[in-house]
Amino acid sequence: MSSPLPTINPSFKRLWSSLWPYSFILLVGLLFIPVIGILSQSSMAVLNATLDVVMSESTFNSVLVVFLSCLFASIFGISSAWIVTFSNIPFKKWIQWLLIMPLAIPPYVMAYVSKGFFDPFGTLDQWTGIHLDISNIVVLSLLISLVLYPYVYTPLRASLAQQSASLIEAAKIAGYRSQWKMMRLILPMHRTALVGGLLLVGLESLNEYGAPAYFGVKTYTTEIIRYWDPMNLQYSVSHALVALIFVGLLLYLESRTRLKSHTSDKLGRKVQDMEASMKSSLGFAVCITLLAIAFAAPVLQMLFWSGKNLGLFFESSFLMTTGYTFMLALSSGLILLLTSVLLSYFIYMFKNYSLAKLSFIANLGYAIPGAIIGIGVLIPIAWLNESTDILLTGTAGLLIGAYCMRYQSVAFNTVEGTLKKIPVSQLEASLSLGRSRIGSLRSVILPQMKPALMGALLLVFVDITKELPLTMLFQRFNQETLAVKAFIMMDTDGAFYKASVPSLAIVFLGVLSIIALRYLDSKDE
């Protein structure tokens, strides 16, 4: 006769059950710290400065960068998603996921490579004697959109693939034979996917620090970091407040558009199941050209430059920076996995609408620019330093905490989306067998979520590896990552080409993460 399973002390079970709600509230409350830190500094002087910021150059530039980036990204994202869905192009299966690769390149790296190519004494000048001045807001927005368009392409392609094939066939019979007419008919049915992708582009372009700073364009993020001073918060906080209002406006517009949108018929045969009728050499050329400009050319340029500085890859300073970046990204990722599992499992168990809404609001950290998260964390920490004489600002733990506040929603949405697909009946069956809630999570729920957990970890890892504005605020405390090292070297005389080494390392990690995510998706399929 087998020995009985070990049991958990009933008093411990009661204690854990009583702590669940408080642990949930604590986790959610911590995510509100940045916003509370900003709002706590809203004095009359700050409010007056905020009114000046509304009419400033940084507001005009920020709005224009967001608008142009979304415009260009919509052109690239819609055209590529449409082509791979409705055109019978060569190597379609390869191209449709290679089009995601530009996400591995941070916008500031794209800006760096482009200036190195077009500027005087750059690659183009050496080859042809021609050089171009590209340091303007239109080119800046174009470069940002080239690496962010996959945010539009990916959800739109997935949505188009689920389009009812019968509607396409009926439209052709009704005379909608040109691609332009077909797009005008079909795209409004996929407004949710399109607007959701554009929202991410807008938020990322608003968050971007390196590319605007490198091009000399003043935006909210560049000014927040430029004016940051713990002894004089007026200008930094005023820019942060206006940026928060702008973020709120973007989220409001996205939610209104989502409410007004309507979905297409999901019944019957899907577009992904029908044979593409349009053979398009032009479509193939468009996709290949987009890939060449947005990914292949920048990577080849960095490989060429780094080939002249191979020794840097083996220098102790570079290895230490790489190790430090790995430590920050991996530690943050593991913490975010733990908190995301706890938050989503709590909502999964109790099905409380108010808790779900509170969790949704707390997970809006990804919508808030990293610079705002940074000063929102540093303001209360500076107050604690003065009140307790304990120096907290120089710790890696503080930076990890800031990363967790910024990227909580990235991990949470991935984990929660997978958890929702697991029937609650499995949890109920496990509980009826005498397992505790934590035991059920460990033995029943988590084994089914391994691909999602790995995917969430990879997403967070690559995002933190690329993160610049949030880390820049901690730079004075010697928190140097690959992103910070690359940006400093880009702007340092005599080190311009050496910046290709940390830049290439960031891109390489991004490419590996995308390949791993693709592998996990294929296994899930």
pLDDT in tens, 393-449: 557 888 888 898 889 888 888 888 788 888 888 888 888 887 777 788 888 888 888
So what's the pLDDT on residue 387?
60
Strand partners, 278: 87
- The CATH code that applies to domain 41-296 is 1.10.3720.10
Distance CA 23, CA 12 (A): 15
Per residue in 58-115, pLDDT (tens digit) is: 999 999 999 999 999 999 999 999 898 888 888 888 898 899 999 999 999 999 999 9
- Exposed, middle or buried by CB within 10 Å (0-12, 13-18, 19+), for 234? middle
Cβ atoms of 30 and 405 within 8 Å: the answer is yes
Cβ atoms of 33 and 380 within 8 Å: the answer is yes
Give, in order, the Cα–Cα distances in Å from 184 to each of 82, 171, 190, 365. 12, 11, 11, 35
Give, in order, the Cα–Cα distances in Å from 315 to each of 69, 139, 305, 312, 321. 37, 35, 17, 5, 10
Is the pLDDT reported for residue 12 higher than 50? Answer: no
Distance CA 178, CA 43 (A): 58
Token pair 């009704």 is found at 174
Closest CA to 46 of 221, 236, 243: 236
pTM for this predicted structure: 0.86
The pair of three-digit structure tokens given for residue 230, joined into one six-digit string: 């713990």
Question: pLDDT confidence of 169, banded at 50, 70, 90?
Answer: low
Strand partners, 60: none
Per residue in 291-349, pLDDT (tens digit) is: 999 999 999 999 999 988 888 888 888 999 999 999 999 999 999 998 888 888 877 77
How much is the average pLDDT of 231-249? Answer: 86
Query: What percent of the chain has a predicted confidence (pLDDT) above 90?
Result: 31
Query: What percent of the chain has a predicted confidence (pLDDT) above 70?
Result: 78
* Torsion angle, alpha carbons of 80, 291, 407, 138, to 10: -80
Cβ atoms of 451 and 523 within 8 Å: the answer is yes
Distance CA 310, CA 17 (A): 56
* Torsion angle, alpha carbons of 287, 483, 214, 230, to 10: 140
Distance CA 46, CA 37 (A): 14
Q: Who's near 279: CB < 8 A, 6+ residues apart?
A: 87, 88, 89
Distance CA 69, CA 145 (A): 5
Residues of the chain with CATH 1.10.3720.10: 41-296, 308-525
Question: pLDDT confidence of 267, banded at 50, 70, 90?
Answer: very low
Distance CA 39, CA 41 (A): 5
Question: pLDDT confidence of 142, banded at 50, 70, 90?
Answer: very high
The pair of three-digit structure tokens given for residue 155, joined into one six-digit string: 């959800």
Say how many C-beta atoms besides its own lie within 10 A of residue 272's C-beta. 14
Give, in order, the Cα–Cα distances in Å from 189 to each of 150, 160, 193, 197. 20, 9, 9, 15
Cβ atoms of 365 and 38 within 8 Å: the answer is no
Cβ atoms of 506 and 487 within 8 Å: the answer is no
Determine the 3-state secondary structure of 270 from DSSP. Answer: strand
Q: Which CATH class is domain 308-525?
A: mainly alpha
Give, in order, the Cα–Cα distances in Å from 233 to each of 237, 316, 378, 386, 458. 6, 37, 11, 15, 35
Determine the 3-state secondary structure of 164 from DSSP. Answer: strand
Distance CA 262, CA 260 (A): 7
Closest CA to 98 of 74, 122, 80: 80
Per residue, the 3-state secondary structure of 430-472, as one string, reads: HHHCCCCHHHHHHHHHHHHHHHHHHHHHHHHHHHHHHCCHHHH
DSSP 2: P
Distance CA 418, CA 432 (A): 23
Q: What is the DSSP string of 191-235?
A: HHHHHHHHHHHHHHHHH--HHHHHHT---HHHHHHHH--TT--HH
